[in-house]
Amino acid sequence: MIVAKRPLIMMAATAALLGAVLSGPGYPSGKGRRDRHEIRNREVRNIIFMVPDGMGLADVTAARIFRNGIDGPPLHLETLEEIGYQRTYSANSAITDSAPAASAWACGEKFNNGEICFHGDGRPYLPSILELAKRKKMGTGLVATSTITHATPAAFGAHVANRNCETEIARQYIEVSKPDVILGGGMKKFNPPSPDLCGTGGDIAAKAKQDGYSIVRTRDQMNSALDAGETKLLGLFAPEGMTPEILRADGTAEPHLKDMTVAALTMLEKHRKGFFLMVEGSQVDWANHANDVKYQVGETLAFDDAVKAVLDWIDSTPERRNHTLLIIAPDHETGGFAINGPNRIPQPGECVTAGWTSGNHTGTDVPVWAQGPGSEAVGRALENTDLYRIMREALGEL
């Protein structure tokens, strides 16, 4: 066999090219991989669980092309070190809604569509991750751009047979689960004109105030409450869902998802025993229900801005980096969204040609991203209920 001798200079050039190709624009270096192994076995103090509701992998591609171009750097959420995917079916359907999907993460079992960590047939259910964190005297927080009593945050802070009982969910937040920080839309659910489906009504916001919550309705009020050192915060920034990003005027009084996320971190980081925080970009789902690609890209990028705020917070000290488990998980895909073009290279700032198979949720698996101690368990094919076990173990409860 004859082996051609390659000139050394060519080998060096090839290695440099290979290095450039492998590292790419903005991709994690080998150092990140080493860090990952060093922090693998450290104790978890903080869990941050972030949900882009109804987001499939094609949504990530569309948002990345819009922001960075087709060969540009990844979105922030894509830079996490562990990537896996999860099955999303509920106990009674191949197509889940957000109630059992979030309940699978929060309470560790498959539930029927519509159920919030509650079995309609009377079977017992487990406490949620937020409730377990509360028992361990950790700080707790819920942030969303829907009503804050919508299905995804609700699964972490309430137990109800029907997700539409939003005033009952509000009551349970204030009287039972008591998260330290509650930020989102849904003012009307905290003082409805008539009782909800569960028969719960009344002025829940007044009760919250009695119980020591500072109640804020604008971004400025939220920031003033932080400056004043408030320790319990209820922010209700819209009567129902918050304003979609593409419809927001400059200087709106409503905080963006990243503003609420930073506010929650600022309050929760004071807890000496750590914290559990859930952050939802609720309206990626609504954009996909509407088959509206501009709305979808706007919400996905606003969610990614919140991810950047979290990564900046984590990376600012070794203590945070070594002891914070971050998981990012959509609950299901919505719309059967596909990228059908253009049949040329799209430019940054351009929306892809969108295709859709439905105006509802679909049954496809969805991705999961994670980093921090305990995150190595995420890098594989998962059931959505596995995320409960991973977080519970991180809390030292297994």
Q: How far is the CB of 152 from Zn ion (least distance, A)?
A: 10
Angle (CA) 391-108-380 rounded to 5° is: 60
Structure tokens at 107: 């309470």
d(CA 204, CA 201): 8
CB 144 within 8 A of CB 153: yes
Backbone φ and ψ for 262, nearest 5 degrees, come out as -65, -40
257 or 325, CB closer to Zn ion?
A: 257
When CB distances to Zn ion are compared, the closest residue is 285
Residue number, 99 or 138, with CB nearest to Zn ion: 99
Catalytic sites, residue numbers: 98
User: Smallest distance from the beta carbon of 53 to Zn ion, in angstroms?
Assistant: 7
Q: Which is nearer to Zn ion, 79 or 358 (CB)?
A: 358
**What distance in Å separates the CA atoms of residue 298 and residue 137, rounded to the nearest whole number?**
37
DSSP string, 100-120: HHHHHHHHSS---TT-BS--T
Choose between 54 and 235: whose C-beta lies nearer to Zn ion. 54
Please give the full DSSP string across 244-286, using - where no structure is assigned. Answer: PGGGPPTT-SSPPHHHHHHHHHHHHTT-TT-EEEEEEETHHHH
Task: Kindly tell me which of 88 and 324 has the beta carbon lying closer to Zn ion.
Answer: 88
Contact present, 45 and 339 (Cβ < 8 Å): no
The closest of 37, 77, 44 to 394, measured between CA atoms, is 44
Report the interface residues with Zn ion, using CB under 5 A.
285
